[in-house]
Structure 1
Amino acid sequence: MVAAALIDGDGRVLVQQRPPGKPMAGLWEFPGGKVEPGEAPEAALVRELTEELGIAVESACLAPATFASERLGERHLILLLYALRKWSGVPAAHHASALKWVRPLELHGLEMPPADKPLIGLLEALV
């Protein structure tokens, strides 16, 4: 799995709310998704950000930031987080219930999936 911390000029980070009917519906998460077989993580994230947010991203603008390792039932999830400060277009909620720009400190107050929570500390230091 790959995700992006979109960071705006004011030092805020974009999170999206998982829609009803999906696992963990209502939780806030960093945009991203699954890496398809044979796909590079950066290419997957460029594709996912276009599908989910309608923005254009150059893979060279994705800066590897950190990762999380989390057991989800019988599966084990590795989530790669990239920092992103440059993109084209205005993010829109194509696959989410809502989008929200928040300061990294505010992420602690949001209900987030278990794999996203450990990433908050790094974002506080990064931004």
Structure 2
Amino acid sequence: MARLSTGAIENRGRDMKSLTVRAANIGSDSAEVLLEVFHARGAADGPSMQELYVQRLVAVIPNQLQTFDNIFADLDAVTVRVTTSGVGEDSIAVSVAARDAGRRVIPGFVSSNPSRLDTPPQEGNEEGPF
């Protein structure tokens, strides 16, 4: 079982309104993909609670691309977690793109890496991805 996560994506001061998550099976065996999206309540300072608000489970056959589009993300902070299982679990490539109100991809926020899912540093914050 592979578990990939963005960690908390800060959205205060950004135009992120929705997310598009894609899972591609680049292998020769089928796999299951569980998408979970969480709202990090009270993420401004100190501990916060993760509240699950999207959960979808799909089977992805070889050479298939599964798109989860128009996921609401107009919140202070969100976390995307993808869990893969089945024979082809290690052959799932995942990408996450943030979109503004006009459905345009927000520059600097596109992540695609089959082994680790994370976000690039925010403008003015070169210390890390979150």
Instruction: Please report the TM-score for the alignment, with normalisation by the length of structure 2.
Output: 0.25
Instruction: Please report the TM-score for the alignment, with normalisation by the length of structure 1.
Output: 0.25
Q: Which has the higher helix share?
A: 1
| CA radius of gyration, larger in | 2
Pick 1 or 2: higher relative contact order, CA cutoff 8 A, min separation 6: 2
Q: Which has the higher strand share?
A: 2
